[in-house]
Chains A and B, each alone.
Chain A
Amino acid sequence: SQTIHQWPATLVQPVGSPLSLECTVEGTSNPNLYWYRQAAGRGLQLLFYSVGIGQISSEVPQNLSASRPQDRQFILSSKKLLLSDSGFYLCAWNDQGGEQFFGPGTRLTVL
Chain B
Amino acid sequence: RKEVEQDPGPFNVPEGATVAFNCTYSNSASQSFFWYRQDCRKEPKLLMSVYSSGNEDGRFTAQLNRASQYISLLIRDSKLSDSATYLCVVGSNYQLIWGAGTKLIIKP
Contact = CB atoms under 8 A, between A and B. Distances in A.
A97 to B, nearest CB: 5
Which size class do B's interface residues fall under?
A: 20 to 34
Contacts, number: 48
A99 B49 contact: yes
Interface string B86-103: 010101111110111100
A97 B92 contact: yes
Contacts of A88: 41
B32 interface: yes
A44 B34 contact: no
Interface residues of A, number: 22
B43 interface: yes
Given A94-B96, A99-B49, 19 more contacts: A36-B98, A42-B100, A43-B98, A43-B99, A43-B101, A46-B98, A88-B41, A94-B94, A97-B32, A97-B94, A97-B95, A97-B96, A98-B32, A99-B46, A100-B46, A100-B89, A101-B46, A105-B42, A105-B43
Interface of A: 32, 36, 42-44, 46, 49, 51, 88, 90, 94, 96-105, 107
